[in-house]
């Protein structure tokens, strides 16, 4: 890990070469709003375009997404120039048109002075609920969980995550990583009476031997045991009682 | 066929093919491009074969016969060329064939009814190279197309094929890169990035594996130069890629070609097999230490896969989506290895640059844009098709000299260049030289070289709406500005064309354009604002007429126009009344007619059929 010094908003800060500017900023207490980036997922980001900043490098200035712009020597970043704020506001207005039901997007847009977009909203049969099509869910499923039960489908405004042919996915283990990763809470996951419902399938939950509370889908236990060789007995107790 | 393992063997083979050729044999060349085949060229070729046999003639003994790639003048197909007299026959039908064989192939008569007639002068021109459409062209990329049978590697060798490769293999790879740099060749796919610089950056990255790729995913509506090259001269692309592979240190190349081009796929496959059999591909090419091969990957039909990073994802078997290119493909491209991706036309230029030298190539074109460029000239112009001209030719020359002027003597209004995310350039700027930098400065772009000519009956707001509509359909949906911004722009443009425009719309559109240009993920998104920005820049008054006056000056937007009949000009011939599908035109014979505006659906039939120019559109 090569440490270098870059400038963010006029301040000299230390950052790791090639790490995303967003991470470098956050590690130095500078906040940049972002939705589609997850620190644990190298492949994530670049989709929502909320984290735009101005990057000046080699005498050239341009608007870039901080979540995947690599830190390199000589870089100067400005997170809130007039132009950055204007374009970010424009992006948020469009996101609000797409997912007017999303509290997260509404809250963020409101911070930038947009309570009601000027353009038509995706409503009625075009309603995407809260999904901003950022694909964090499918990336987690593929890169972290390793099952690829869901993928992004269609293109343009129709783009959305889903199971193959919208049928029950046999690959899904019900772990819910997609729902946890989703920045806008768009994925429905319900646990009730020892059964988890997600992506249209029901998963039987294994209960903790101490508190008796169902806490993990049996299919997820099987998957972890199979892929990591971990002792099955480990899952007898929930994290609170291990 | 035995593989060739040395330069001497290659030249020896070439000499033998040359010697076997009968010089000046009266020959017939039939265009077998996709356009001509669709127009019936297959039946014409069959008729020639039968007629030649019926006459007791023998191919390659008394007469020559071959099918070739596209001549670019597709609207006049099927095209038939007669050599050595260099006569071009247009719109040839099987029933014309016996006469052609009798009079023009065996005899030396010219059949007047089949030759080109200039719409402006009425003059007949029989000689291929004297027809205005061809006369002003400079063919480098299209050098072999129409002359060679794309299925014959011998034909390609007769045109000095693989000489560039042989020369390249005697050079040091870095010297090839320098030669390409010196030629000034810039990427023909749209971006115009200097090819040599791209190659040099790729070479500079430390890696044991590198790739070269050819972008044959031509997706701009109306553009077909890449298809024509892949179909008509596949070996030129393959030779270019082998040279490129040697120069950057790649062992594997890929041609990504859209599956909607079946003939291109077929001809490329056949050419690859021939090149492999002859030792131009495979291990130790021409006896050197260099090994290289090429595979074809067929695209699934998404416009976005013509974008470089999306193309690479698709090649890897993943969903074709762009990625951020802050780390460039020359560093981390296909399978995260250093990669060079060039367009079909770029690769096709490489062999001649190496064969004839960088200085020769750089002698064509302008200071910043060297060489020639193939354009697909379409729209409201007399001669449409593929044309290749030196960079720097003016729009006006293209339209008037080669295109033969605007169709039906109408007024030239604008050209749209650069594909759906290009822009419109007005008549007032028509002396602008066509090169990478001038077009960009004018608010449009070179793109892959589409040029659509528009006349006075074209509404520029409607044009912007059309292209934005195309981009809405083709947006991949990965980033917010493109996915959610374009439909909003389309809605505003629809409102304007349908009479619901508001005063602030132009400003709102410009703001949305700004978000797209600055914040979209890939080149398609960031250039998607061009159709709107360029029309607002040059035709703002037309937007304002729609919004403020509720009028469409070009008479296109149905909600804003009314049809009426000028009583003074109407002769009462009743033709319009008879043809009106709504039966809403009334009047006495020999008396002025009237349109019932409440029933009129503005289909324009009355205007089309009126012989007295009495129908008014306002």
Domain boundaries, chain A: 1-132, 136-241
Query: For B363-384, what is each residue's pLDDT tens digit?
Result: 999 999 999 999 999 999 999 9
Closest CA to A204 of A216, A188, A222: A216
Look up residue A64 and give its DSSP letter.
E
Please say if the pLDDT value at position B328 is more than 70: yes
pLDDT given for residue B395 in this prediction = 94
Asked if A90's CB is within 8 angstroms of B519's CB, the reply is: yes
Contact A70, A19 (CB under 8 A): yes
Place of tokens 């599956």: B259
Query: For B117-142, what is each residue's pLDDT tens digit?
Result: 998 888 999 999 999 999 999 999 99
Query: For A200-239, what is each residue's pLDDT tens digit?
Result: 999 999 999 999 999 999 999 999 999 999 999 999 999 9
Place of tokens 């040099």: B200
Quickly state the pLDDT bin for A140 (edges 50, 70, 90): very high
CB of B489 less than 8 A from some CB of A: no
Asked if A154's CB is within 8 angstroms of B477's CB, the reply is: yes
What is the percent of chain B with per-residue pLDDT over 70, rounded to a whole number?
100
Query: Can you point out the beta strands (E) in chain A?
Result: 3-8, 11-16, 52-57, 60-65, 76-78, 151-153, 160-162, 189-192, 195-198, 201-207, 214-217
Quickly state the pLDDT bin for B1 (edges 50, 70, 90): low
Contact A48, A34 (CB under 8 A): yes
Please say if the pLDDT value at position A127 is more than 80: no
CATH of domain A1-132: 3.10.20.740
| pLDDT mean over B475-485 | 96
Place of tokens 């190298």: A42
Residues paired with residue A163 on neighbouring β-strands, in sequence order: none
Asked if B484's CB is within 8 angstroms of A157's CB, the reply is: yes
Query: Which residues in chain B are contacts of A159 at CB distance < 8 A?
Result: 476-478, 483
What is the percent of chain A with per-residue pLDDT over 70, rounded to a whole number?
100
Closest CA to A88 of A58, A60, A66, A116: A66
Q: Looking at chain A, which residue has its C-alpha nearest residue B324?
A: A46
Asked if B484's CB is within 8 angstroms of A98's CB, the reply is: yes
Please say if the pLDDT value at position B81 is more than 90: yes
Asked if B481's CB is within 8 angstroms of A97's CB, the reply is: no
Asked if A118's CB is within 8 angstroms of B514's CB, the reply is: no
CB of B519 less than 8 A from some CB of A: yes
Q: What residue ranges define each of the domains in chain B, with the CATH number in brackets? A: 16-135 (3.40.30.10), 153-362 (3.40.50.11540), 372-458 (3.10.20.600), 461-548 (1.20.1440.230), 562-617 (3.30.70.20)
Contact B8, B30 (CB under 8 A): no
| pLDDT mean over B196-206 | 97
Contact A208, A235 (CB under 8 A): no
From A189's Cα to the closest Cα of chain B, the distance in A is 24
Per the rule left: phi > 0, alpha: psi between -120 and 50, beta: everything else, B149 is: beta
Asked if B476's CB is within 8 angstroms of A155's CB, the reply is: yes
Quickly state the pLDDT bin for B575 (edges 50, 70, 90): very high
Closest CA to B434 of B403, B462, B475, B459: B403
Distances (CA, A) of B68 to B31, B34, B81, B125, B465: 5, 11, 10, 22, 39
What mean pLDDT, rounded, does chain B reach? Answer: 94
Quickly state the pLDDT bin for B46 (edges 50, 70, 90): very high
The three-state secondary structure class of A67 is: coil
Contact A54, A78 (CB under 8 A): yes
CB of B331 less than 8 A from some CB of A: no
CB of A151 less than 8 A from some CB of B: yes
Asked if A87's CB is within 8 angstroms of B518's CB, the reply is: yes
Asked if A152's CB is within 8 angstroms of B484's CB, the reply is: no
pLDDT given for residue B51 in this prediction = 94
Query: Which residues in chain A are contacts of B520 at CB distance < 8 A?
Result: 49
CB of B483 less than 8 A from some CB of A: yes
Q: Looking at chain B, which residue has its C-alpha nearest residue A69?
A: B326
Asked if B488's CB is within 8 angstroms of A97's CB, the reply is: yes
Contact A52, A94 (CB under 8 A): no
Query: For B493-510, what is each residue's pLDDT tens digit?
Result: 999 999 999 999 999 999
CB of A69 less than 8 A from some CB of B: yes
Q: Which of B326, B485, B487 is nearest residue A64 as measured by Cβ atoms?
A: B326
Query: For B14-37, what is each residue's pLDDT tens digit?
Result: 999 999 888 789 999 999 999 999
Query: Which residues in chain B are contacts of A154 at CB distance < 8 A?
Result: 477
Asked if A98's CB is within 8 angstroms of B478's CB, the reply is: no
| pLDDT mean over A122-139 | 88
Q: Which of A91, A98, A152 is nearest residue B519 as measured by Cβ atoms?
A: A91
Q: What's the CA gap between B486 and B346, in Å, rounded? A: 31
pLDDT given for residue B513 in this prediction = 97
Closest CA to B383 of B72, B164, B42: B72
Closest CA to B279 of B588, B7, B573: B7
Q: What's the CA gap between A114 and A96, in Å, rounded? A: 9
The pair of structure tokens assigned to B397 is 């020359």
From B320's Cα to the closest Cα of chain A, the distance in A is 10
From B319's Cα to the closest Cα of chain A, the distance in A is 8
**0.85 surpassed by complex ipTM:** yes
| pLDDT mean over B402-410 | 92
Look up residue B63 and give its DSSP letter.
B
Query: For B55-64, what is each residue's pLDDT tens digit?
Result: 999 988 889 9
Q: How would you class A87 by CB atoms within 10 Å of its CB: exposed for 0-12, middle for 13-18, buried for 19 or more?
A: buried
5-64 of A, contacting B, C-beta below 8 A:
45-50, 52, 63-64
From B357's Cα to the closest Cα of chain A, the distance in A is 34
Q: Which residue pairs, CB below 8 angstroms and at least 24 apart, start in A208-217?
A: A208/A236, A208/A237, A208/A238, A208/A240, A208/A241, A209/A236, A209/A237, A209/A241, A210/A237, A210/A238, A210/A241, A211/A238, A211/A240, A211/A241, A213/A238, A215/A239, A217/A173, A217/A174, A217/A175
Quickly state the pLDDT bin for B605 (edges 50, 70, 90): very high
Query: Can you point out the beta strands (E) in B198-321?
Result: 211-216, 252-258, 293-299
What is the percent of chain A with per-residue pLDDT over 90, rounded to a whole number?
91
Helices B344-356, B163-170: crossing angle, 10 deg rounding: 70
Q: Looking at chain B, which residue has its C-alpha nearest residue A85?
A: B515
What mean pLDDT, rounded, does chain A reach? Answer: 94
Please say if the pLDDT value at position A87 is more than 70: yes
Q: Looking at chain B, which residue has its C-alpha nearest residue A121?
A: B488
Q: For chain A, what percentages of helix, strand and coil (3-state, to nearest 5) are there?
A: 30, 20, 45
| pLDDT mean over B190-202 | 94
Query: Which residues in chain B are contacts of A63 at CB distance < 8 A?
Result: 518-519
Please say if the pLDDT value at position A95 is more than 80: yes
Q: Looking at chain A, which residue has its C-alpha nearest residue B478?
A: A47
């Amino acid at each position: 890990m090569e440490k270098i010094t870059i400038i963010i908003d006029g301040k000299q800060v230390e950052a790791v070469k090639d790490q995303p500017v967003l991470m470098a900023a956050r590690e130095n207490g500078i906040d940049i709003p972002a939705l589609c980036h997850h620190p644990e997922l190298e492949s994530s980001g670049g989709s929502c375009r909320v984290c735009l900043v101005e990057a000046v490098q080699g005498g050239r200035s341009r608007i870039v997404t901080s979540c995947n712009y690599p830190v390199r020597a000589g870089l100067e970043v400005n997170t809130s120039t007039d132009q950055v704020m204007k374009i970010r506001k424009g992006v948020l207005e469009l996101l609000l048109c797409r997912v007017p039901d999303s509290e997260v997007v509404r809250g963020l847009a409101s911070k930038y002075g947009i309570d009601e977009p000027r353009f038509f909203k995706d409503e009625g049969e075009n309603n995407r609920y809260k999904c901003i099509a950022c694909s964090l869910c499918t990336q987690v499923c593929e890169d972290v969980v390793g099952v690829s039960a869901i993928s992004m489908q269609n293109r343009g405004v129709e783009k959305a995550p889903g199971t193959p042919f919208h049928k029950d996915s046999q690959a899904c283990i019900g772990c819910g990583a997609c729902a946890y990763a989703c920045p806008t809470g768009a994925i429905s996951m319900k646990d009730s009476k020892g059964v988890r419902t997600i992506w249209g399938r029901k998963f039987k939950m294994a209960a903790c031997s101490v508190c008796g509370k169902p806490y993990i889908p049996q299919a997820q236990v099987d998957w972890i045991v199979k892929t990591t060789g971990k002792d099955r007995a480990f899952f007898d107790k929930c994290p609170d009682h291990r | 066929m035995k593989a060739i393992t040395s330069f001497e063997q290659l030249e020896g083979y070439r000499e033998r093919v040359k010697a076997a050729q009968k010089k000046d044999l009266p020959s017939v060349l039939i265009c077998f491009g996709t356009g001509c085949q669709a127009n019936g060229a297959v039946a014409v070729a069959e008729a020639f074969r039968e007629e030649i046999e019926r006459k007791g003639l023998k191919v390659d003994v008394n007469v020559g016969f071959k099918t070739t790639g596209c001549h670019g003048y597709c609207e006049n197909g099927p095209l038939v060329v007669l050599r050595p007299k260099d006569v071009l026959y247009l719109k040839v039908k099987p029933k014309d064939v016996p006469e052609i064989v009798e009079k023009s192939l065996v005899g030396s008569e010219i059949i007047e009814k089949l030759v080109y007639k200039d719409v402006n002068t009425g003059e007949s021109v029989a000689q291929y190279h004297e027809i205005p459409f061809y006369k002003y062209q400079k063919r480098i990329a299209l050098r072999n197309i129409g002359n060679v049978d794309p299925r014959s590697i011998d034909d390609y060798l007769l045109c000095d094929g693989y000489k560039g490769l042989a020369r390249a293999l005697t050079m040091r790879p870095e010297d090839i890169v320098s030669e390409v740099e010196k030629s000034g060749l810039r990427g023909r796919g749209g971006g115009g990035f200097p090819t040599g610089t791209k190659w040099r950056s790729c070479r500079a990255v430390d890696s044991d594996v590198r790739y070269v790729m050819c972008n044959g995913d031509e997706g701009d509506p109306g553009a077909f130069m890449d298809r024509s090259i892949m179909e008509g001269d596949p070996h030129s692309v393959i030779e270019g890629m082998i040279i490129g592979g040697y120069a950057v240190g790649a062992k594997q190349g890929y041609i990504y070609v859209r599956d909607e081009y079946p003939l291109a796929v077929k001809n490329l496959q056949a050419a690859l097999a021939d090149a492999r059999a002859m030792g131009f591909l495979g291990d130790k090419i021409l006896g050197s230490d260099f090994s290289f091969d090429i595979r074809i990957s067929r695209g699934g039909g998404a416009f976005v896969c013509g974008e470089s990073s999306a193309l690479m994802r698709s090649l890897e078997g993943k969903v074709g989506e762009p990625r951020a290119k802050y780390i460039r493909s020359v560093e981390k491209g296909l399978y995260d290895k250093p990669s060079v991706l060039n367009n079909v036309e770029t690769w096709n230029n490489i062999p001649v640059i190496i064969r004839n030298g960088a200085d020769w190539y750089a002698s064509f074109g302008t200071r910043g844009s060297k060489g020639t460029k193939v354009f697909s000239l379409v729209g409201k112009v007399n001669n449409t098709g593929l044309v290749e001209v030196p960079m720097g030719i003016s729009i006006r020359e293209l339209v008037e000299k080669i295109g033969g002027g605007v169709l039906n003597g109408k007024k030239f209004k604008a050209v749209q260049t650069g594909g759906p995310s290009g822009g419109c350039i007005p008549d007032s700027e028509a002396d602008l030289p066509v090169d990478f930098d001038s077009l960009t400065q004018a608010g449009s772009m070179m793109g892959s070289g589409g040029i659509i000519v528009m006349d006075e009956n074209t509404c520029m707001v409607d044009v912007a709406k059309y292209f934005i509509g195309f981009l809405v359909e083709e947006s991949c949906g990965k980033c917010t500005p493109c996915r959610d911004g374009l439909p909003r722009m389309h809605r505003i443009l629809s409102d304007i064309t349908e009479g619901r425009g508001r005063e602030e719309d132009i400003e709102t559109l410009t703001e949305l354009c700004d978000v797209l240009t600055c914040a979209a993920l890939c080149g398609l998104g960031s250039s998607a604002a061009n159709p709107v920005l360029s029309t607002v820049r040059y035709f703002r008054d037309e937007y304002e007429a729609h919004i403020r006056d509720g009028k469409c000056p070009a008479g296109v937007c149905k909600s804003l126009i009314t049809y009426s009949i000028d009583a003074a000009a109407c002769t009462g011939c009743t033709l319009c009344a008879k043809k009106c599908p709504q039966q809403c035109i009334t009047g006495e014979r020999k008396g002025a007619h009237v349109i019932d505006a409440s029933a009129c659906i503005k289909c324009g039939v009355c205007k089309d059929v009126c012989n007295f120019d009495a129908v008014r559109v306002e």
